[in-house]
Structure 1
Amino acid sequence: MLGIQEISDRLEIQEMLVAYATAIDGQDFDALDRIFTDDAHIDYTAFGGLAGTRAEMKEFLASSMGQFTACQHLIGNPEIRVDGDRATGRVMCLNALGIPVENGDPRIALLGMWYIDEYTRTPEGWRISRRSQEPSWTQGLGDVSERTRDPR
């Protein structure tokens, strides 16, 4: 049976996961400062991105996400395991991306994946300390991974 503290911890982590999706979809990359720890390691290489620090990911996302006409993350089925001030998670994500095409409606690419996370309780609340992606499937991806590669 789950205790009140673990229920509270899981709910706070789930709210943070929603905040992440909202920040990415709204291109509010400064909001990631309230979602990831200062020393977080983030790995987006599964779909052609890069791996690095929170600051590096904010820069990468700002330069790569602007090319899409829309972005929508739907997260669900969070498997969260709390152990004191640390927790792990595997969170399903369906990511739809609008890809501009000349003289027409955007093409939609769909990515099915899981986020594989580690969380840390901080004085400000739970934060993601480590995140990677585990791909499941893609549809209409085409050259999306090329488009999201580090432009530097």
Structure 2
Amino acid sequence: MTQRVDLTTVMHRLAVDDVVSRYAAAVDDGDWDAYRALFARAGRADYRSSGGIEGPADDVADWLAQTLRVFPVRQHLIVNRRVRLQDLGGYPGDSADVQADYLNPMRLDSGEDFTSGGRYAFSLIRTEAGWRLRSAVIHEKWRRTGRLGPDEG
């Protein structure tokens, strides 16, 4: 393998990782246009494990916009990312998969905290416009709710 191939692989891995970071920021900021732009034309998202819906990214963005209104404070932490690029004999291909754990602390309008954690499974495809999500599947593993004490707010 040449240095040029190694550099190309690193650049693709960074670009794929950037899509995952932009995904978290779009959800946290409620930037649904940015969320939609992260997906390929036929891209889908699946939030069923956390009580949500599965469907085309546009429909899921509309659902998220409505559902997340009750959470004025959101922060998505996506960690332990494992990126696997398609390997074409030492050269990166046009698809990638990412598994990543998440911690998602939020606060409801009522002041109650809501925190969940789990794992994402992202599938990406390289398009002329760059890397885009083919799918985002949320596997919620746990959640916790509670009210802050008077000295914690």
Q: Could you say whether these structures have the same fold, taking a TM-score greater than 0.5 normalized by the shorter chain as the test? A: yes
Correspondent of 2:100 among 91, 95, 99:
91
Equivalent residue, structure 2, for 1:55? 58
Query: What are the residue-to-residue correspondences of 1:3-152 with 2, within 5 Å?
Result: 3-83=6-86, 84-101=93-110, 106-140=111-145
- Matching residue's letter, 2:70: Q
Q: Which amino acid aligns with 1:51?
A: E
Deviations 1:94-113 (A, max 9, x none): 11111122xxxx11111111
Alpha-carbon shift at residue 135 of structure 1 (Å): 2.0
Q: Distance in 2 between matches of 1:113 and 1:5?
A: 31
Q: What is the CA-CA distance between 1:74 and the residue it aligns to?
A: 0.6
Aligned-partner residue type, residue 130 of structure 2: G
Pairwise CA distance, 1:70:
0.8
Which of the pair has more CA radius of gyration?
2
Amino acid at match of 1:116: A
Question: What displacement does 1:34 show?
Answer: 2.2
Deviation string for 1:64-121 (max 9, x for gaps)?
11111211101111101001100111011111111122xxxx1111111111111100
- Please tell me the root mean square deviation across aligned C-alpha atoms, in Å: 1.5
TM-score of the aligned structures, taking structure 2 as reference length: 0.84
Between the two proteins, what is the percent identity of the paired residues?
28
| Corresponding residue for residue 151 of structure 2 | none
- Counterpart residue type for residue 119 of structure 1: L
Question: Which structure is higher in strand share?
Answer: 2
Structure 1 length as normaliser, TM-score? 0.85
**Structure 2 stretches of 5 or more lacking a match?**
87-92, 147-153
